């Protein structure tokens, strides 16, 4: 199984390098752009499963990157991050098609959890597409499965859900 392709668009070089190093250690093949317009160009040249983008960047802002990437969530999901946030910004971003919105500063494990959740959601979309016979994904095995879930893929879905998300109280 190939790694998930992740584009990080972040103008803070130190944060971009930290995210690249941290996320490359796991399930992600990471590319970094330090400007929004560079991210837009890279997205035209290559496919990315997930785009993690800052909202405020030179060249093009994160909402422009979102608009370019969010046409097809089965193909690409977008997670926005910003140091200038409020609940209105998060709601606006989601209304515009973002999968998630995270405020800076954040903990690195929080980003990994959010990206892993995006990957699981995208996997479900791709599996549905494969089962329903829509074009794009040839088989259900063509989808990304996070490393921690690879041993569970042949088990009944109820067990996978319990292991992935835990049991609800009272059940």
Average pLDDT estimate for 49-63: 93
Q: What are 91-111's pLDDT values in tens digits?
A: 788 888 899 989 889 999 999
Alpha-carbon distance of 169 to 108, in angstroms, equals 28
Q: What are 117-129's pLDDT values in tens digits?
A: 999 998 888 888 8
Average pLDDT estimate for 132-142: 52
Share of the chain above pLDDT 70, in %: 75
Q: Taking all residues of the chain, what is their mean pLDDT, rounded to a whole number?
A: 79
pLDDT of residue 107: 94
Share of the chain above pLDDT 90, in %: 44
| Structural fold of domain 4-144 | Rossmann fold (3.40.50)
Beta strand ranges found along the chain (DSSP E):
4-9, 28-33, 50-54, 77-82, 100-103
- Whole-Å CA distances, 2 to 63, 101, 134, 150: 29, 26, 22, 12
Q: Please, which pLDDT band fits residue 166 given cuts at 50, 70 and 90? A: very low
Q: Please, which pLDDT band fits residue 10 given cuts at 50, 70 and 90? A: very high
pLDDT of residue 153: 43
pLDDT of residue 86: 67
């Amino acid at each position: 199984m190939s790694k998930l392709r992740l584009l990080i668009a972040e103008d803070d070089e130190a944060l971009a390098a930290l995210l690249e190093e941290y996320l490359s250690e796991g399930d992600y093949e990471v590319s970094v752009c330090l400007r929004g317009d560079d991210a837009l160009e890279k997205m035209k040249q290559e496919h990315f499963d997930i785009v993690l983008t800052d909202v405020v960047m030179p060249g093009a802002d994160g909402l422009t990157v979102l608009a370019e990437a969010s046409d097809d969530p089965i193909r690409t999901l977008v997670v926005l991050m910003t140091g200038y946030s409020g609940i209105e910004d998060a709601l606006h971003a989601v209304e515009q098609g973002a999968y998630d919105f995270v405020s800076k500063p954040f903990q690195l494990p929080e980003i990994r959890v959010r990206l892993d959740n995006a990957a699981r959601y995208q996997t479900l979309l791709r599996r549905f597409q494969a089962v329903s016979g829509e074009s794009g994904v040839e088989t259900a095995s063509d989808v990304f499965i996070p490393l921690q879930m690879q041993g569970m893929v042949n088990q009944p879905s109820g067990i996978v859900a319990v292991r992935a998300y835990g049991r609800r109280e009272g059940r």
